[in-house]
Amino acid sequence: MAAKTIKDECDTDLAVAVPILEALLAALDTLTTQDITLVKSMKNPPAGVKLVMGAICILKGIKPDRIPDPSGSGKKVEDFWGLAKKLLGDMKFLQSLHEYIKDNIPVNYMSVMHNKYTTNPD
């Protein structure tokens, strides 16, 4: 009985996740090296670009830099943009996204993605 409940929950989650994954893969197929060059050249990219590149860094196991909070709170905040620009400079960046092994993502990466990214409306 418990196994069936777990299976049903997993099937429900997959029914939501698979279309999202398929949409993401389709969007990935539209990216060009010119797009990557444009993003890499941004000094202060839009929040959506930072959000996506932060997620990519997490999935690639890259830890964020700790920088002073731009809002002036005096605290340190996590920042991926400098690291993301290095990733974007890799000539095989797009290829690495296409070849990413999405069926074996470490649990701790999934946890961060769930807590910080999937709950973000952007």
In our burial notation (b when 16+ CB lie closer than 10 A, e otherwise), range 48-85 reads eebbbbbbbbbbeeeebeeeeeeeeeeeeeebbbebbb
Listed by start position, the domains of the chain span 1-30, 32-118
In the chain, the largest separation of any two C-alpha atoms, in whole Å, equals 55
Domain 32-118 - what CATH class?
A: mainly alpha
Is residue 1's pLDDT more than 90? Answer: no
When the pLDDT of each residue in the chain is averaged and rounded to a whole number, the result is: 89
Percentage of the chain lying above the pLDDT 90 cut: 49
Residues 25-69 have pLDDT tens digits of 898 899 999 999 999 999 889 999 999 999 999 999 999 999 998
Closest to 87 in 3D by CA, of 49, 47, 46? 49
